[in-house]
Structure 1
Amino acid sequence: MAAPTAQDDSPPSTTIMDKNGDVLFELGKDDATKSHLLVSSKVLSLASLVFTAMFTHGFREGENLSSSSPRLIPLPDDDPTALTLLCKILHFRTIDIPTTLEVAALANLAILCDKYDCADCVRPWSMLWLPRWLPHAGDDGFGKLLFITYALDLPDAFSEVTLALSKDCGSLPKADAQSTGYDILPLDLTDQLRERQRGIRLGLCRAIETAVSPWLQIACCDHRSVVGKYFQSLYSAGLWPPSEAIGKLKVADIKAKIASIAVGTSCGGTSCYGSCRGASGTDITAGTNIKATLVKAVDNVLLSVRGLCLDCVKTGDRAERAEECRIPHSTQRLRTA
């Protein structure tokens, strides 16, 4: 008969945020992994109206609080690492706060900030952590920055993130997804971003198709060669037909493929006795490059896109209250891919 497994009856480890704390948070769901945080109800109440209600408005958790016998409050649904970090921030344990934070950890922290209504206290730290991740649109986890910047109330970062997500498909959750954190967002926000993605793709398709238009109006053998090479280069680069290719690529990849194509330039009439003047009055001078025309058209499409205004998203208003927004709409963040 096998010997019974020994039981570990040692008490959970305790991290002290305040040596005179009167509340003992119990973290974790499993007995083997549970831990405690000794915290101050006064400090937490100053930082959060939710904690104020918990400790002062008749909740059982707030009865008879005393540093001599801290009250145990189980928080099994909260991420232990994120709650520990939140308590360090609220108790000014600055030396123990990391200067960098992974996106997943930042996401868990943002969820707690939303739950306990204490984003104001965490915002300065988030402004230190976020810049590392903002340039990485399209990377795994970048979509989480959408609800992170929303929950932490960061209008500049939210504008930059929504601009990047508008340009790159595949980074948004599905409309019916129940991903943790995304339930913080307004129901129509991801649909709005998908509509913006479709609009940008349509604009890029139009730019690729119309950049060649001036050359099609000219009866010149040299230009026919340029046009033929243009379509052949687009096909070789995986950009033709654009209606099929553009929707599968990131904007940065589209621009890289455009940069790789090789096309000729206009003779400007120097080898065709002036027939480079189109019947409609189009005048393409010597040295004009169809690729440069395409690059400019693509840049114009991307420069016309702006990040979303966090204040407008949160209030549901648009132009009606634009003058009250923290970021003026006339200077809403623009960023090329």
Structure 2
Amino acid sequence: MDDPTDNKLSSVINIAADGDVILVVGPEKMKLRVFSLFLKTASKPFSAMFGPDWKEGHDMLGRDGPVELLLPEDNASALKFICAIIHHRNNQVPQTLAAGDVLEVAVTADKYDCVDALKFASGNWLLPGKNEPGDLMLLTAAAYLFQNAKAFKEITRQLILNHDGPYLALSCEEVESAITWRVFFARREGSLASALAPSLSL
């Protein structure tokens, strides 16, 4: 009998049913079929990857079927949402996400330089709502990576109002890898940190 796990791993999620690339993402090897043109338009790293100077670009020449691109270090769910947005597959894009998932998408979008393509979807995900302080800290880091100054200020305002303890207690590896504490203090004129950081007093 076939292992159902193998069947699951071999199945393809058709972001674009006739796409020319299959992204094999994460340790779970999620397969996403997409159009390379859409990825190239939204992302400079993908544009370079599928260009004439990279192996992936050469592999696509003269191929009848899709080319597989291995991305074992990426978060599969995050890249799935990013690809769905880039391909205008709104039915595959959730209106809300858990704070940790929002940060995963932000980290992946920052890596592939496609933050701008996620501007509207990320705006909904970054609404602070009734999140706990720990989740607000995750959203703060995500807002920083998404370069959303308005969301950054609103989330950190909620953090001030809803957390009485030290902010360092809310720190975690995911947050520290995305945003440094100097962002909260930076005042250098013209810097991204200065543009995003509200007047926080830790």
TM-score category by the smaller chain? Answer: 0.7 to 0.9
Q: Does the CA contact (< 8 Å) of 2:136 and 2:156 recur in 1?
A: no
Partner of 1:304: none
Task: Answer yes or no: is 1:179 the counterpart of 2:167.
Answer: no
Change (3 A) 1:179 1:171: farther
Partner residue, 1:314: 192
Larger-gyration structure (1/2) = 1
1:94 counterpart letter in structure 2 = N
Aligned positions, number: 196
Aligned partner (choices 68, 90, 93) of residue 97 of structure 1: 93
Q: What is the RMSD of the two structures over their aligned residues, measured on CA atoms? A: 3.4
Question: Is the aligned partner of 1:64 residue 2:62?
Answer: no
- Are the equivalent residues in 2 in contact too, given 1:137–1:164 (CA < 8 A)? no
User: Aligned partners of 1:188 and 1:315: how far apart in 2?
Assistant: 8
Q: Which has the higher contact order (CA 8 A, sep 6+)?
A: 2
Equivalent residue in structure 1 for 2:152, among 147, 158, 161: 158
Deviations 1:230-258 (A, max 9, x none): xxxxxxxxxxxxxxxxxxxxxxxxxxxxx
CA distance in 1, matches of 2:55, 2:20: 14
1:46 is aligned to 2:38: no
C-alpha spacing 1:185/1:312, structure 2 compared with 1 (3 Å): farther
Q: Is the 8 A contact 1:46 1:52 kept in 2?
A: yes
Following superposition, the deviation at residue 313 of structure 1 comes to: 5.1
Which amino acid is the alignment partner of residue 126 of structure 1?
S
In the alignment, which of 16, 27, 40 is matched to residue 25 of structure 2? 27
Shift in CA distance, 77/169, structure 1 to aligned 2, threshold 3 Å:
farther
The DSSP-based 3-state class of the residue aligned with 2:53 is coil
CA drift of 1:166 comes to 4.4
For 1:41 and 1:92, the matched residues in 2 are separated by 14
Report the Cα distance in structure 2 between the residues aligned to 1:38 and 1:171, rounded to whole angstroms: 45
Identity of paired residues, percent? 26
Correspondence list, 1:1-337, <5 A: 10=7, 12-29=10-27, 33-56=28-51, 58-65=53-60, 68-131=64-127, 134-136=128-130, 138-166=132-160, 168-170=163-165, 172-173=167-168, 179-186=173-180, 188-189=182-183, 192=185, 314=192
Q: One-letter code of the match for 1:141?
A: D
> SS where residue 50 of structure 2 aligns?
helix
Counterpart of 1:294 in structure 2 is: none
The aligned amino acid for 1:15 is I
Write out per-residue CA displacement over residues 170-205 of structure 1, whole angstroms, 9 at most, x where no aligned residue.
Answer: 474569x66124322245235x3xxxxxxxxxxxxx
CA distance in 2, matches of 1:143, 1:64: 42
Unaligned runs of 5+ in 2: none
Change (3 A) 1:173 1:115: farther
Contact kept, 8 Å, 1:15 with 1:37, in 2: the verdict is: yes
Instruction: Provide the rounded CA distance (Å) in 1 between the counterparts of 2:91 and 2:52.
Output: 33
